[in-house]
Amino acid sequence: MTDITSRTEAALAAIAAATSLDALEAERLETLGKKGWVSLALKTLGGMTPEERTQAAPAIQSARAAIADALDAKKAALEAAALEEQLARETVDLTLPAAAAPRGSVHPVSQVMDELAEIFADLGFAVATGPEIEDDWHNFTALNMDETHPARAMHDTFYFPDKTLASSSEAVGQQKTPEGREVLLRTHTSPVQIRAMLDQGAPIRIIAPGRVYRSDSDATHTPMFHQVEGLVIDKGIHLGHLKWTLETFFKAFFEREDITLRLRPSYFPFTEPSVEVDVGYSNEGGRRVVGGHGDAPGHAWMELGGSGMVNARVLEFAGLDPKEWQGFAFGLGIDRIAMLKYGMNDLRAFFDGDPRWLAHYGFSPFDQPTLSAGVGARA
Ligand code: PHE
């Protein structure tokens, strides 16, 4: 007992005397940490008889409460002091001439999203959005990928662990929505197709640009990247409409007429038939330039995304009658088409936030893309 009282007093004194968050953390580990003496003392309660426990428990528990309170209070005080110190140190001289201050720029991804919206608006498409934190029904099931579908595994999905389980035991379950659906970061913009169909019914003409997430990282893949989804639902829609739309878009986007597209047969669970979309380019002075024929010498094809006719099962999941409505969908990598148009070669630099890169590749906020002035014009 006296031992606990004196150790508690010593701990409270050490906490009061701590001058840094590191020193405070060291004291926390010594007392309340997994191997701290308070935690160890608490563990001994389990081996006691009920009488012994009634005797010993209050002292240990009040020691723990007193130390925890003192740690919290001291932590808040140290953080407040650090903030005060930082505020005193970081001052901004508002009398500096504005021209000398660094100017922000519009990120190429934002610029390209604006360009997309502008071009597709001209074709009668509205911009739709959906949540980045999705559930597995919208992201997979309604897109004709049931629980056992192998494509689910291929998506390298980030799931949300169940916080209540994670803190109380080793077992980490998955967080669920009230409907019992797993919570995840969307792996593509295709769930917006489902949301659009459920929300507005048919006919539909939308694009949905946004962030998507996959557990993947190298020079051409980042865990977060951008896609634009396109969805058209109407009567009598066929593959020709898809091809014309993509061609018309790419001509406007790359601002040249000699765009060649290659549609390659492919497979996506949510489209039938499915095609992958490649664009022809050539290397000119170390820079990739879109245009010309991808099979000619010196030319190559770059894959820009997937597309196809919306699978009848998907229409059914989204409450539309496939006998009445047909449609096409596509999903393009925004970062990729931005790299191709503006000549960057490392995707990772997009998300480093380096002001030199942004000054070089960024756009003036005054340079709004418009079809009449050119969707990629620089000020
Ligand atoms: N969602 C697919 C992907 O991310 C792309 C796609 C969209 C394919 C729409 C077909 C139709 O890989």
Do 76 and 167 have their domain in common? no
Cβ atoms of 262 and 246 within 8 Å: the answer is no
Do 270 and 139 have their domain in common? yes
Q: Where are the beta strands (DSSP E) in the chain?
A: 126-127, 133-135, 183-185, 204-213, 224-234, 261-268, 271-284, 287-290, 299-310, 326-333
Instruction: Note whether residue 287 is domain-resident.
Output: yes
| pLDDT recorded at residue 379 | 38
Do 78 and 130 have their domain in common? no
Q: Is the pLDDT of residue 378 over 60?
A: no
| pLDDT recorded at residue 169 | 47
Closest among 245, 240, 138 to 189, alpha carbons compared: 138
Cα–Cα dist 197/328, whole Å:
13
Q: Is the pLDDT of residue 374 over 90?
A: no
User: Using one digit for the tens of pLDDT, what is the confidence trace for 190-237?
Assistant: 999 999 999 999 999 999 999 999 987 777 788 999 999 999 999 999
Do 120 and 84 have their domain in common? no
Do 216 and 181 have their domain in common? yes
Do 36 and 154 have their domain in common? no
User: Using one digit for the tens of pLDDT, what is the confidence trace for 10-48?
Assistant: 999 999 999 999 999 999 999 998 889 999 998 898 899
Instruction: Note whether residue 368 is domain-resident.
Output: no
Residue type at position 20: S
Tell me the best of 134, 228, 243, 268 to mutate to test the pocket of ligand 1, counting ligand atoms within 8 Å of each CB and taking the most.
268
Cβ atoms of 370 and 114 within 8 Å: the answer is no
Confidence of residue 155 (pLDDT cuts 50, 70, 90): confident
For residue 211, the CA-to-ligand 1 centroid distance in Å is 14
Q: Which two tokens stand for residue 144?
A: 């004709």
β-pair partners for 185: 133
Instruction: Note whether residue 379 is domain-resident.
Output: no
Instruction: Note whether residue 150 is domain-resident.
Output: yes
Q: Is the pLDDT of residue 185 over 60?
A: yes
For residue 133, the CA-to-ligand 1 centroid distance in Å is 18
Do 238 and 125 have their domain in common? yes
| pLDDT recorded at residue 101 | 63
> How would you classify the pairing of strands 126-127 and 133-135?
unpaired
Instruction: Note whether residue 224 is domain-resident.
Output: yes
Q: Is the pLDDT of residue 377 over 90?
A: no
Cα–Cα dist 5/90, whole Å:
44
| pLDDT recorded at residue 294 | 60
Tell me the best of 144, 155, 188 to mutate to test the pocket of ligand 1, counting ligand atoms within 8 Å of each CB and taking the most.
188
Q: Where are the beta strands (DSSP E) in 129-260?
A: 133-135, 183-185, 204-213, 224-234
β-pair partners for 287: 284
**Cβ neighbours around 158 below 10 Å, total:** 16
- The enclosing domain of 221 has a CATH number of 3.30.930.10
Cα–Cα dist 74/109, whole Å:
44
Instruction: Note whether residue 182 is domain-resident.
Output: yes
Total domains present in the chain:
2
Residue 32 structural domain: 2-89
Cβ atoms of 188 and 212 within 8 Å: the answer is yes
Q: Is the dihedral of CA 233, 238, 242, 247 positive or negative?
A: negative
For residue 305, the CA-to-ligand 1 centroid distance in Å is 7
Do 76 and 198 have their domain in common? no
For residue 23, the CA-to-ligand 1 centroid distance in Å is 52
Residues, the chain: 379
Cα 132 versus chain centre, distance? 6
Do 262 and 339 have their domain in common? yes
User: Using one digit for the tens of pLDDT, what is the confidence trace for 309-345?
Assistant: 999 999 999 999 999 999 999 999 999 999 999 988 8
Cβ atoms of 292 and 280 within 8 Å: the answer is yes
Do 115 and 257 have their domain in common? yes
Do 208 and 79 have their domain in common? no
**Cβ neighbours around 39 below 10 Å, total:** 15
Cα–Cα dist 379/264, whole Å:
38
For residue 332, the CA-to-ligand 1 centroid distance in Å is 7
User: pLDDT: is 319 or 1 the higher one?
Assistant: 319
| pLDDT recorded at residue 1 | 53
Instruction: Note whether residue 376 is domain-resident.
Output: no
Ligand 1 proximity of 209 Cβ (cutoff 6 Å): no
Instruction: Note whether residue 373 is domain-resident.
Output: no
Do 190 and 310 have their domain in common? yes
Judged by DSSP in three states, 221 sits in: strand
Confidence of residue 367 (pLDDT cuts 50, 70, 90): confident
> What average pLDDT does this structure show over 104-128?
95
For a pLDDT cut of 90, what percent of the chain falls above it? 65
